Amino acid sequence: MDMAIRPLDPAFRVFGPAFTVLCKDGDNLPIHRAVAAATKGSILVVGGTERQVSFGYFGEILATNCKKTG
């Protein structure tokens, strides 16, 4: 993971069962499937196949579904 990615506050923590997802370039369907399968309180851990990803995998539709799921 890029060292520039870090929590807004070092004291922030998340706890819950992890759903790991690997996306191919430009394909976020695995994230949609994970959101549909996840239970309330699950944590999505998403990775891409490239080191320098130039795709936006997560947007308004996924955020709405995650919020609805909990």
pLDDT digits (tens, 9 = 90+) for 17-29: 988 998 888 888 9
Spatial CB neighbours of 40, under 8 Å, sequence gap ≥ 6 = 69, 70
Question: What SS3 string covers the chain?
Answer: CCCCCCCCCCCCCCCCCEEEEEECCCCCHHHHHHHHHCCCCCEEEEEECCCCCCCCCCCHHHHHHHHHHC
For the segment 32-41, the average pLDDT, to the nearest whole number, is 90
pLDDT in tens, 38-64: 888 899 888 877 666 667 788 899 999
* Domain limits, the chain: 18-69
pTM beyond 0.75, yes or no? no
DSSP letter (8 states) at residue 38: P
